[in-house]
Structure 1
């Protein structure tokens, strides 16, 4: 009886410790798949732990269309800005060398967010990835809630990046699948609790994913959000979006930062992060139409049917395997011609959306006509001057001198 009583007391005394351990937040492992995966090799057995704000900047940098620039002063006070910049340079997407002998195509960027990952799922995925020499690149020390993940996807959608949850994972890892890709970046999110087969799908398609990565067609980031983070009190990936104090965000009230709910396109000075770890100052560029679309429907939708002045067509031809749809502009008839074969008055269009009037033909006609007229007048004047300066013939000159002597 004493033994049972002592065991019961010991068990009850250990409950607070177990409850505290269960209440402590679990980190979210992040795996990066790229051709040169030196970023994933840790110098020690301990995985690098980053705050969620730094991880958010890494995801935004990898999916950015142009050179990434954002205000890093929303980084918490637990990490200095220089260290955060070094992590961004370490885990950023690979960039081609400044001087290259051949043209290179940037690989497509994929971000996969898995919510509700249990300890068993994480152990299975970690052991499976370890067999292919893949370790967690870093871990998010304070993963936010599922609400924050939804807001993050909305932020990606505001940046014209394909962000969806209905796309099948086996199709999402294929950068040539137009169902899940509308550009060079795609973000997908899955809930393991609602779709438990997602883990098995990821394991079954690891070899296929690695083939796209090895070929240089794709770079992928897989974020394993633990089940404990689903009900986290952190409802944003950035404290700036949650409205924290200016001292924590280290910014003035007059300045603005990019948040999960809004995307500022104003030309404000922001520090830009380069792959080499340097920081320079640049101005944020407004959103622009991409130079290439992966499907005909996407091209027609995002360009507004080429501003009703043309039609999308494959840049490399209909029989080409590469899909690069751009607007083929057509002329608009302003005044129809009278009679058979008459062309009438037309207006040509140009630009990546056929939104600009093409005045190159009238410009060169006017310029050529003006240069021709000026040249003809100059030649006539110079010809008159050259005739007037010629000396008189000798016979006429002698007559004039003889008459003068009389």
Structure 2
């Protein structure tokens, strides 16, 4: 028996001369929460709309639970959807908004009323049946939209940037609530977002998109720590990117410095090959002379310190790196203790396993 909820085979979408999607292939497993992540215009919303039947693809096919649904109208597809704008009916009460889909599915009045009550309890809005959308906060409206989307027990839930209109604190709380509900219900969910933190914090799988193609599919850990392209590395999280030349035996020349890097299996560069090294700011540590193996040792001067609550982001000019500067993230205690401040001299270390390299501008 297939474990796929949705299979996308070679889907292409054109708008006149613009190719919005180019031969997209993807499998979403039952019960997964998958995030389509990417910048505006990358094709993520277009792909979601094609799955929903709100757009027609020009080539390829969409299969849901073994059934080809490529050309079925939205009403014949088994999904619930939540939009960024909530799309609640302003003239209907909360109860009637949620019951709208139930009415179309021929639920009996008594059964529909019971279902609405269950759903309101599920999303933490018991007692709000007779309120109108205008009487609710943005977060509460989004809960109502979510309840309406799952009212008919659909096999698939589609979320089109559902939290982007909310303020940061409400957005953070609500995304965790959505994740908890999704896991409890076991409903396969596809969520479109441009917010990397949102995708990293709740997704089982992230699909990173760029200019109509899929750059990488993986778990949040894989996307963050094993990016397959410079685009993914740069889009998800902060990076330091250094121009280098390969020497030999895992050593790379960067300006006047040599970096020891753990080589990737079957992907050793050629001698003198131009390479780009990637280092995450949090992987650069303060040097501790009590340790025997510190890896790559760097020295430099602090140019700027930005306090970000739980950590400090430090911009440094590294001696021997010529024009290059480095960003590093350090515990905020280092700022409190006066270890770092503008003009400070710091000694740093980077483990060889925390440096990644790219052999060209696209692929790792």
TM-score norm. by structure 1 comes to: 0.20
Rg comparison, structure with higher value: 1
Q: If each structure's helix is expressed as a fraction of its own residues, which one has the higher value?
A: 1
Q: If each structure's strand is expressed as a fraction of its own residues, which one has the higher value?
A: 2
